[in-house]
Amino acid sequence: MSDAADVGDLYQRLIMDRARAPLHAGRPAAFDAEAEGDNPMCGDRVQLRLSCSGGAIGEVWHETRGCAICIASADLMADAVTGRTRTAANELAGAFETMVASGAVPDREDFTELRALSGVHEYRSRHRCATLPWQALRAALTKTMETGHGG
Amino acid sequence: MSASLEQTGFDIARIRADFPILSQTVHGKKLVFLDSGASAQKPRAVIDAMVRSMETRYANVHRGLHWLSERASDDYEAARDKVAAFLNAAREEIVFVRNATEGINLVAATFGRSALQPGDAVVVSEMEHHANLVPWQMLRDSHGIDLRIVRITDTGELDFADLERQFADGRVRLLAITHMSNVLGTYTPVERLAAFAHERGARLLLDGAQAVVHRAVDVRAIDADFYVFSGHKLYGPSGIGVLFGKRELLDAMPPFLGGGDMIRSVSYEKSTWAEPPYRFEAGTPAIVEAVGLAAAIDYVNAIGFPAIAAHERALTDHALATLDAIDGIHVVGRAQDRGGVVAFTMDGVHAHDVATLLDKQGIAVRAGHHCAEPLTHRLGLDSTARATFGVYTTMEEIDALAKGLRRVQQVFGG
């Protein structure tokens, strides 16, 4: 139905797939850092846990209570930051937040999947849904610095 | 439109023509505004009254000795008379505040700190808006009162057995309850609550932010001690609200804010307070907004509450039947006495996604916890989407909502 496609242009297949069946959801038995992202305006919450090895992010898990955009963003983020140093992960977070704020997709390879969320730019009230997991990531990375993990 | 509505002379097309904003398109679609419970749209009469006030009759009130100030003071005080008649109160019992929230905060800060002693209890319900919960938590933390929460039933009605338990030790001095839930649509049995509280030596405060839009409110008939509402939900402007308090209660309450207009005399050493309601209206008030509120009251009175209530009843019945017929949609709140506030969930789809996809179709609803986060959790939910109705809402708009929701389900692969 063309109308449905029209109203759903924000909700691309990748977003829907990750929202329905996230690949990185869950709570690991062991991890090196954890942090939360909360949006008190809407009740969305992301709990993020990550492991570190050799100065880089080893694995990322999230427990996300929120909308499709928030869950998909958390899950795609987990893909994108795995294997990165803290500095590189923070840089990626900045680039993602800039994309949401500006609507412009950065011309770089690591945005092949993250670009699926660029449509959020059109919905100002939803920006926070997309950036909340990244805010939790920044907080978790700060903790890895405090505990001596991460690069 | 049903025959009963035609008999009341309810002309929906004429009413809609009174609201300039409703003829807009949003995202290229006809606007379907179902968020009046958050804030209602404004009729031409309110807009014009405010423009006229600013263009021809504006100055500060209660101060000037000049012609314009006298006109502005007349209009501001006429608005007070209008509100007093609207609630069946005396003009001395009507305090202008910014909104219902400020009205409750005023009562908590003044009545709460003078008439309540540490150890006295205040009872609110599980279905309060944050506005009727947080001020009492603040009073508990600063003044040592005991704050108790009376349960609601799973259908969304007050649990009177639990209310009995909350009052059992005789320490409750104030029952502060919504007149209509902004999530469940439940009307509370206010006359019964007043009798219940008074028999047990407690006062009754009613949060009328939602109810006052849909039903005629007679604070004398209810025997409410305090009643608050906001102008902006009643088709008036934001920035003006009303606190009704019984005369003897207001008389005994200390001021809320200090400043101009609320004093009798001021010296460097001390000041004495003006009589109510002026004691509680420090500083230059919302003059133009009061004029707008008076125009809004005239507007709803001209339609008449019997017609407004019948229209709302028909819309609510239609909405409940229509949404119940959609697989995967679950309406929250099944009170016997409920009105035009319909919150719901959709299986597998978060309320924010529902709201965004409806917005793309020109349909405005609210999504989230609706400033009633504890209630949302009490219901076992994280969020709901909510459609709320006004005098201008049509049956066709409810059908558009249903159609829009089916499209959301399609997008989410339902």
Q: Which of B61, B95, B323, B371 is catalytic?
A: B371
Residue of A nearest to B352 (CA): A67
Say yes or no: B366 contacts chain A, CB-CB below 8 A.
no
- Flag if B360 and A4 touch (Cβ within 8 Å): no
Q: What is the pLDDT of residues A90-147, one digit of tens each?
A: 999 999 999 999 999 999 999 999 999 999 998 988 999 999 999 999 999 998 866 6
Which pLDDT band holds residue A54 (cuts at 50, 70, 90)? confident
- Whether B371 is a known active-site residue: answer yes
Q: What is the ipTM of this complex?
A: 0.86
CA distance A95 to A82: 16
Element (H, E) at A141: helix A127-147
Chain A touched by B372 (CB under 8 Å):
no
Neighboring chain A residues of B383 at a CB cutoff of 8 Å: 42-43
Neighbours of B43 (CB within 10 A): 28
Cα separation, A130 vs A127, in Å, equals: 5
For residue range B56-114, list pLDDT tens digits in order.
999 999 877 899 999 999 999 999 999 999 999 999 999 999 999 999 999 999 999 99
Identify from B353, B377, B386, B412 which residue to disrupt to test chain A contact, counting A C-beta atoms within 10 A and taking the largest count. B353
What's the confidence (pLDDT) of residue A4? 45
The CA distance from A116 to the nearest CA of chain B, in Å, is: 16
Q: How far is A76 from chain B (nearest CA, A)?
A: 18
DSSP readout, B254-269? PPSS-STTSEEEE-SS
- pLDDT band with cut points at 50, 70 and 90 for residue A6: low
* Per-residue pLDDT tens over the stretch B66-78: 999 999 999 999 9
Q: Does A46 touch chain B (CB under 8 A)?
A: no
Residues B262, B281 contacting (CB under 8 angstroms): yes
Q: Contacts of residue B351 in chain A, CB cutoff 8 Å?
A: 67
**Residue-level pLDDT at A1:** 42
What is the structure's pLDDT at B413? 83
- Cα B287 from Cα B75, distance rounded (Å): 8
Taking CA–CA distances from A21, the nearest residue in chain B reads: B348
pLDDT tens readout for residues B6-48: 555 689 999 999 999 999 999 899 999 999 999 999 999 999 9
Q: Establish if B350 touches chain A: CB-CB under 8 angstroms.
A: yes
Instruction: Find out whether B253 and B56 touch, Cβ atoms under 8 Å.
Output: no
The candidate with the shortest Cα–Cα distance to B210, out of B107, B333, B89, B120, is: B333
pLDDT at residue A42, rounded to an integer? 74
Say whether B96 sits in a helix, a strand or coil: strand
The pLDDT value given to residue B262:
87
* Cβ <8 Å between B353 and A67: yes
Task: Write the residue in A7, A43, A129 that is nearest to B357 by C-beta.
Answer: A7
Rounded to the nearest angstrom, the minimum Cα separation between B348 and chain A is 8
Residue A149's pLDDT is what? 60
Residue B130, chain A, CB below 8 Å: the answer is no
For B9, other C-beta atoms within 10 Å of its C-beta total 11
Averaged pLDDT, B193-213: 98
Sign of CA dihedral A82, A83, A88, A90: positive
**pLDDT tens-place string over residues B335-383:** 999 999 999 999 999 999 999 999 999 999 999 888 898 999 999 998 9
8 Å CB contact of A67 and B350:
yes
A42 touches B at CB < 8 Å? yes
Structure tokens given for A77:
């983020």
Inform me whether the C-beta atom of residue A29 falls under 8 Å from chain B C-beta atoms: no
Residue B1 has pLDDT above 60, yes or no: no
Looking at residue B362, what is its pLDDT? 95
pLDDT higher than 50, residue A69: yes
CA distances (Å), origin A7, targets A70, B354, B412: 19, 11, 11
Strands across the sheet containing B366-368: B329-331, B341-346, B384-388, B366-368
Query: Mean pLDDT, chain B, as a whole number?
Result: 95
Q: What is the largest CA-CA distance in chain B?
A: 72
Tokens matching residue B152: 């609601």
